[in-house]
Copies of this chain bind each other. A is one copy, B any other.
Amino acid sequence: MTVTIKDVAKKSGVAPSTVSRVIADSPSISQATKEKVRKVMHELNYFPNANAQGLASNRSKTIGVILPLASDAFYQNPFFPTVLRGINFGMSKVDYSILLSSGQTNEQRLNHIKKIVHGKKVEGLIFLYASKNDPLLDFALSTNIPTVVVGTPDKLKVHVVDNDNETIGKQATDYLIQKGCQNIAYIGGDMDQFFIKDRLKGYQIALEENNRTYKEDYIYNDFAFLSTDGYQLIKNEIDLSLYDGFVIADELVANGIQQALLEKKITQIRTITFKPFQQALYHSNMGESYINLHTRLLGSRAVSILFDSIENDNKGEQRYIREYVDGELVVMPEF
């Protein structure tokens, strides 16, 4: 029924091995036969069976992308589709497919990742999050499968691509200072996420460099990553008279905050946050300036690092790459 390599071989009058070599574009096949065989492949509408290829060559031509637990609030973040786009973009050169991790519970997720890496379904892994003591990452590292994580995990022996969160946090804070803000609060989130901590560090450095005193109670950290959290914070919890500036570590939270401020008709507080890309789409992006995180770049860089790692396999001793992409201040017109 389905056309195989033998059919192509027969019709082109060559051996199956020759066909296989023209598939791989091997240099040891003459241009003439290549063309002849390719013509037949096209006539017969032949496509190589990926499973057979994978079995014979021990390469699946697909990489696994590991998402966080679906119930995690963080999952909702525009960050994810954006990195995914970057990954897609980076892969357009290399003829690989993307396998998405799945599972509703952490146990399911762990089982699934075991199955796909031991079962040779994937040649490499990209983690789209970094959290503490992640059993999935532990597993990945224990198998030596090429892995890169987008974000900064609590492990050293792995490739990493992340925003330069400290610098970015400083950059944002500097902007507010330069705009004349005197009392700047830092609205963070889950302190188990390293980027929250790092941006806070940048905030702190900016204050110090400008001879401002860093105050513990100017830091707000006890909530998740939802816009409702930001909204609630403003509406109920925070003493707004204290501040004239907010550095908000997460875009969703910032959305909630900005809406709450608008509703309360508060204009003396300037805010700044971080968005996945220029012209962030989840918000009208008219009002406030922000830092563009180049999130798509995160994805495409992760891909190239991963492929370097896949190609170079175990030649020479392993070196781990840490790549930090910078942010870009996008200043909005005042209204």
Q: How many copies does the complex hold?
A: 2
Distance of A81 Cα from B75 Cα, bound (Å)? 8
Choose among B120, B252, B263, B282 the residue that contacts A50 (Cβ–Cβ < 8 A). Answer: B120
Query: Contact between B89 and A98 (Cβ–Cβ < 8 Å)?
Result: no
Query: Contact between B85 and A70 (Cβ–Cβ < 8 Å)?
Result: yes
Query: Contact between B99 and A99 (Cβ–Cβ < 8 Å)?
Result: yes
Query: Contact between B231 and A119 (Cβ–Cβ < 8 Å)?
Result: no
CB distance from A110 to the nearest CB of B (A): 13
CB distance from A98 to the nearest CB of B (A): 4
Query: Contact between A104 and B92 (Cβ–Cβ < 8 Å)?
Result: yes
Query: Contact between A283 and B262 (Cβ–Cβ < 8 Å)?
Result: no
A151 within 8 A of B: no
Contacts of A51 on B, CB cut-off 8 Å? 50-55, 60, 119-121
Contacts of A38 on B, CB cut-off 8 Å? none
Distance of A329 Cα from B92 Cα, bound (Å)? 41
Query: Contact between B85 and A75 (Cβ–Cβ < 8 Å)?
Result: yes
Count of A interface residues, CB-CB < 8 Å? 66
Distance of A4 Cα from B78 Cα, bound (Å)? 42
Query: Contact between A284 and B102 (Cβ–Cβ < 8 Å)?
Result: no
A131 within 8 A of B: no
What does the 1/0 interface line of A205-240 toward B look like (CB < 8 Å)?
A: 000000000000000000000111011000000000
Query: Contact between B108 and A92 (Cβ–Cβ < 8 Å)?
Result: yes
A97 within 8 A of B: yes
Query: Contact between A116 and B70 (Cβ–Cβ < 8 Å)?
Result: no
Contacts of A89 on B, CB cut-off 8 Å? 70, 104
Query: Contact between B119 and A47 (Cβ–Cβ < 8 Å)?
Result: yes
Distance of A75 Cα from B84 Cα, bound (Å)? 11
Choose among B98, B279, B335 the residue that contacts A102 (Cβ–Cβ < 8 A). Answer: B98
Given A47-B114, A92-B108, 11 new contacts (CB under 8 A):
A47-B119, A49-B120, A51-B52, A51-B119, A55-B55, A73-B281, A78-B78, A81-B81, A97-B116, A98-B102, A256-B284
